[in-house]
Structure 1
C-alpha cells in the first residue's frame, strides 16, 4: 500500500492538481471560490445557531464568534471525511477510461480524492485561522498538533474509500446508501453539539462513532488548548491503519473484475 503511493507520488500530485483546478474551471473567480465558500458557510452557521437558535457551547463562553469557530472546527473534520466517502462509490465509473489501461494504478484514485479533499480542508483551515486571530489572538501552540490528530482520520477515510470504490462497481446502490449514512453521521457526531450536552447514558454510545474522537480531539488542540491524549491516539491510529490496509487489500483483490463489469 505504501509502496504504491510512493512510486506514483508524482502522478498522484498531478491528478490532485487537475481535480482541484477542474472543479473551478470556467468560473470567473476560479480558485477564489475555495476560499469564499468556507467564509460564507462560517457566516451562515454563526447566524443560524448563535442568533436564531441562541445555542451556546457547553464549557464555552457566550461569544457568538467562539461558538461559530467551535462548530466550524467540527465541520472541517466531517467535510473532509464526507467529501471522499461520497465520491468513493463512483470513482471507478467516473474514471472508466483508466480501467482498461493495464499500466494505470487504479488504487491511487481514492488517494487523489483524499488529496483534493485535504486541499479544500486546508483552505477552510486558513479561513478559521484568520477569524480566530482577528477575534481572539494567535492560537496556542497545541494547534500545531493538528496534523497528528488528522492521521487516523486520513487512514480510516482512505481505507473506506478503497472499499467503497470497489463495492460501487458491483453494487450501484452503494452510492445512494452512503449518501444517507454520511448525512446520518453528521447529526450523530459531536459537530453541532458537545458530547457533554448529551444524557450520560448516550455519551458512551457516542464514543462508538469513529468521528467522535477525531472531532473532539481537533477541538481540544485548536480551541481548548489541550494536548493529544496519546493512548487514545495510538489506539485509533492503529485501528485506522488496519482499516486502511484491509480496504486496500479488498480493492486489489476485486479490481480484476472491474473491466468486465464496466
Structure 2
C-alpha cells in the first residue's frame, strides 16, 4: 500500500525516539494502521470460500477438541471440588488465547521488515508501525477467540462473570510488552536472519513453561519462581480470574506489569529507530 504523496527519502536519516514521538506517531498514522490491519486480516483468508468465517470456526473447533480430549479422555480437572467436567478445557483455552497472542506476534516480528523491503528503500512510509499492524491483526483473532470462550462459558454454565469487563485491562500490559519486543525482533531480524528460527523454538518452549495446561499450584515449590518469572504466567492467571473464576484482577500486579511493559515498549521503539538507519544497507 503506497501513499499517493510518497517520495524518495534518505534511509539513513535520524528518527525521533522519545516516548512522545512514539505515541504521536501512532496517533498520526492511526488511519493507515487501521487500513493495514484490515487488509492483513482479510488477506489471510483471501481466496477461501468461507473467508473471515474461518476466524470464528478455528477457535470453535479447537475448543471442541480441548473439551472432548480433556474432559472425556483424560478426565482432567483443574483442582476445584465443584468443578464441572468442561472447566479444564475452558481454563486451558484461556491460556492458549494468551499464549497465541504473544507467540504469534513474536514469531512474525523477525520477518516484518524483510517482507516489506520496498517500504524501507523507496517510499516515505512509517515502517515503525509494522509491528503495531502485526499486533492489531493478531489481536483481532484473539478477540474472536475470546468471544467463542464467552459463548462456551455461557453454554456450559448458564451465566457470565461480571468481572469479564476487566478483560481489556488484563490484556493491555501484555499487548504493550509484545509490541515492544516485536520492535526489537523486527530490527534484529534484518541483521541476524537466524533470529526467526530461534524465536520459533523459544515460543514453543514457552508454551510448556507457561501455566497453560496446568495451574501454577501444580508446579513444585522449588520450580515455581521460574514459572512466575515467565511474562505470560501473570497474565494467564489474571485472565482466568476475570473470565472463569469471577475474581477481580491483582490491581497492584497489573500496574507494576504495565509500567515494566511501557518501559520495554519504549526501549524496543528506541532500538528500532536507532538501528533502522542500517536497514537499507543490509537489504
TM-score, normalised to structure 1, is 0.97
Query: Deviation at 1:137?
Result: 2.4
1:221 aligns with 242
1:197 aligns with 218
Bigger CA drift: 136-145 or 207-216? 136-145
1:19, 1:116 within 8 Å by CA — same for their partners in 2?
yes
Cα separation, 2, equivalents of 1:76 and 1:64: 20
Pick the aligned partner of 1:79 from 87, 100, 105.
Answer: 100
Q: Highest Rg: 1 or 2? A: 2
Give secondary structure in 1 for the equivalent of 2:213: coil
2:95, 2:212 within 8 Å by CA — same for their partners in 1?
yes
1:112 aligns with 133
Pick the aligned partner of 1:147 from 134, 149, 168.
Answer: 168
2:40 aligns with 19
Cα separation, 1, equivalents of 2:116 and 2:142: 24
Give secondary structure in 2 for the equivalent of 1:183: helix
2:275 aligns with 254
Structure holding more helix per residue = 1
Give secondary structure in 2 for the equivalent of 1:200: coil
Cα separation, 2, equivalents of 1:92 and 1:177: 17
TM-score, normalised to structure 2, is 0.90
Q: Does 1:58 align with 2:79?
A: yes
Q: 1:211-233 deviations in whole A, cap 9, x for unaligned? A: 00000000001111111211111
Query: Deviation at 1:60?
Result: 6.0
1:58, 1:197 within 8 Å by CA — same for their partners in 2?
no
Q: 1:182-231 deviations in whole A, cap 9, x for unaligned? A: 00001100001000111122222211101000000000011111112111
Pick the aligned partner of 1:245 from 266, 270, 278.
Answer: 266
Q: Which runs of 5+ in 1 are unaligned?
A: none
Cα separation, 2, equivalents of 1:58 and 1:249: 44
Q: Which segments of structure 1 move beyond 4 Å, counting only runs of 4 or more?
A: none
Cα separation, 2, equivalents of 1:243 and 1:62: 38
Query: Deviation at 1:62?
Result: 4.5
Q: Which runs of 5+ in 2 are unaligned?
A: 1-21
Q: 1:48-72 deviations in whole A, cap 9, x for unaligned? A: 2232322211236452321111111
